[in-house]
Amino acid sequence: MADQKILRLGEKAPSEEMAALKETVASCMQCGTCSASCPVTRAMDYTPREIMRLIMTDMEEAVLGSQTMWVCASCYSCAARCPRDIEITDLMLRLRSIAIKKGYQPRADVAFYRHFMSIVRRYGRMLEPELMIRYGLTTNPLKLLGMAPIGLTMLRRGKLAFKPDLIKGRREVREIFDRVEGGGE
């Protein structure tokens, strides 16, 4: 009981970004379907339903300081089953963006997430060698050197490519990222 956080309602007004999210979740009736649908709630510090409630009650620091948005698998199970049609997965993506802008420290695996998403944004698909190089340089450059023999073997066998296969619709993929990062306008 001693390590539980005490949350006080209405300590300060929500930021502009959080006020916009509050409007998005205003129709949530706290049924818990999102949390029941989520395959990763056990790894979250707050369930999706609890995050929605924290947003409604202006608990910005608790929301942005939580790991829930980083743990979200982005599988859309919650959004597909929400009786109020709230796009909860998109909300989690927006929370990630707000948290990064406000300097909240996510778990160490956020480096992977950031690099993964920036590559998908650029190419419309994943380019594994670039991801591994960026992630390795960010987290542990020496470990990256140790992985070089495996990478060279995969390259020699044609399992890796240094140039991405460019997809049609890359512009549309970038527009999706812009909408999510811009708050869905």
Mean pLDDT in the chain? 84
Is residue 33 over pLDDT 60? yes
How does residue 9 score in pLDDT terms, banded at 50, 70 and 90? low
CA distance 146 to 152: 11
Given a contact cutoff of 8 angstroms between Cβ atoms, the answer to whether 160 and 128 are in contact is: yes
Is residue 151 over pLDDT 90? no
Beta-strand runs (E) in 59-174: none
Q: Report, as an integer, the average pLDDT of 43-61.
A: 93
Listing DSSP states for 110-128 in one string gives HHHHHHHHHHHHHHSS--H
Nearest alpha-carbon partner for 68 in 37, 26, 107: 107
Q: What is the CATH number of domain 16-101?
A: 1.10.1060.10
Q: What global pTM score does this model have?
A: 0.58
Given a contact cutoff of 8 angstroms between Cβ atoms, the answer to whether 184 and 90 are in contact is: yes
pLDDT at 64: 93
Structural domain boundaries in the chain: 16-101, 110-164+175-180
Is residue 164 over pLDDT 50? yes
